[in-house]
């Protein structure tokens, strides 16, 4: 919006030209302030949108991680429980001198133990 004026001829013309240039610069400054305000609002909106996006991604990643962690824990508990039962079976077999085949066929090894170890009271 540059003022297209001819060269001033008198002092009054010079003053009028300067006034027009000052008015024009004020208009340009006003437009510039509006553009700066709009840019700041856009930057704030983008920052807020980025925060929401990051928050959503973190929430999803946390949920996925917890699901994965829960599944891993369930698997570990199941495997540990099976290992404990297997260990107790091995201890039982060793103490009772029972083989796995005998245990599967129903032989408990308790037949050879005295009644006191089987939980029965002795008669007499």
Provide the pLDDT for residue 46. Answer: 92
Average pLDDT over residues 12-30: 92
pLDDT value at 6 more than 80: no
Kindly report, residue by residue over 61-85, the tens digit of the pLDDT: 999 888 988 999 999 999 999 999 9
Taking the complete model, does pTM exceed 0.75, yes or no?
no
- Domain residue ranges in the chain: 11-118
> Of 14 and 116, which is predicted with more confidence?
14
The DSSP result for 30-94, as a single string, is HHHHHHHHHHHHHHHHHHHHHHHHHHHHHHHHHHHHHHHHHHHHHHHHHHHHHHHHHHHHHHHHH
């Amino acid at each position: 919006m540059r003022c297209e004026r001819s060269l001033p001829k008198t002092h009054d013309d010079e003053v009028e030209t300067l006034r027009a240039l000052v008015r024009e610069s004020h208009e340009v400054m006003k437009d510039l302030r509006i553009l700066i305000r709009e840019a700041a609002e856009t930057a704030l909106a983008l920052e807020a949108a980025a925060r929401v996006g990051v928050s959503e991604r973190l929430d999803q990643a946390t949920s996925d991680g917890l699901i994965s962690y829960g599944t891993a824990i369930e698997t570990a508990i199941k495997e540990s429980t099976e290992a404990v039962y297997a260990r107790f079976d091995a201890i039982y077999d060793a103490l009772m001198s029972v083989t796995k085949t005998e245990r599967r066929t129903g032989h408990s090894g308790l037949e050879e133990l005295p009644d006191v170890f089987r939980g029965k009271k002795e008669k007499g």
